[in-house]
Amino acid sequence: MSLGQVPASSYVTTLFKSLLRTIMIFSWSTPLRRNGQTDLPLIPNEIYLHIFECIAPADQPLSDQYVETFSALALVCRFFCSVALPRIFERVTFLGYTDGDSTLASRKTEWARQILSNTEPGKSLALYVKVCTFRCWFEEDEAELPFPFASLYCQAIARMSNIQKS
């Protein structure tokens, strides 16, 4: 799977590096605007927030397409990252059956391990999770296979302190 010309694994690595820098800094301001060497007038944060709301209303869960969009926006600047991260991670689904997408499975597994070991960025990203669900975990003849992963994810959920529903 690739996003445009960039392989998904490279995209994910870039996203997590950017997220880690933003988490470690925890500061943002109105994005600077420039045309070459000339500074342009600032756009108020409220306008950016309204644009984000038009892309995906805050009262609705993000579809997979919008998770990708918000992930790309999180790489633009610290302000966009501070707005996009809570939306990306507010609803998390752990899939037991990933239909051969080992990248998705390994990312979620790595994130769960980071949460359990209390390391970044997993530890900070877990604070954004409000809703966590499990989907497609048991098929009739493979009921024992996902148990280690379900156990790992359940332990990680226990450390997601802002969960309102799971």
DSSP-derived 3-state class of residue 28: coil
pTM: 0.69
Q: Give the separation between CA 113 and CA 118, rounded to whole angstroms.
A: 8
The better pLDDT of the pair 12, 75 is held by 75
Q: Give the separation between CA 2 and CA 67, rounded to whole angstroms.
A: 15
Q: Give the separation between CA 113 and CA 148, rounded to whole angstroms.
A: 12
The pair phi, psi for residue 109, each rounded to 5°, is -65, -45
Mean pLDDT for the stretch of residues 52-61: 92
Residues β-bridged to residue 135: 95
Q: Is the pLDDT of residue 24 over 50?
A: no
By the 8 A CB rule, do 75 and 81 touch?
yes
Place 26 in a pLDDT band, splitting at 50, 70 and 90: very low
Segment 95-128, tens digit of pLDDT: 766 666 666 667 888 889 999 999 999 999 999 9
By the 8 A CB rule, do 114 and 71 touch?
no
Torsion, Cα 126 115 113 133, to 10 degrees, reads: -40
Question: Quick one: tokens of 43?
Answer: 């756009």
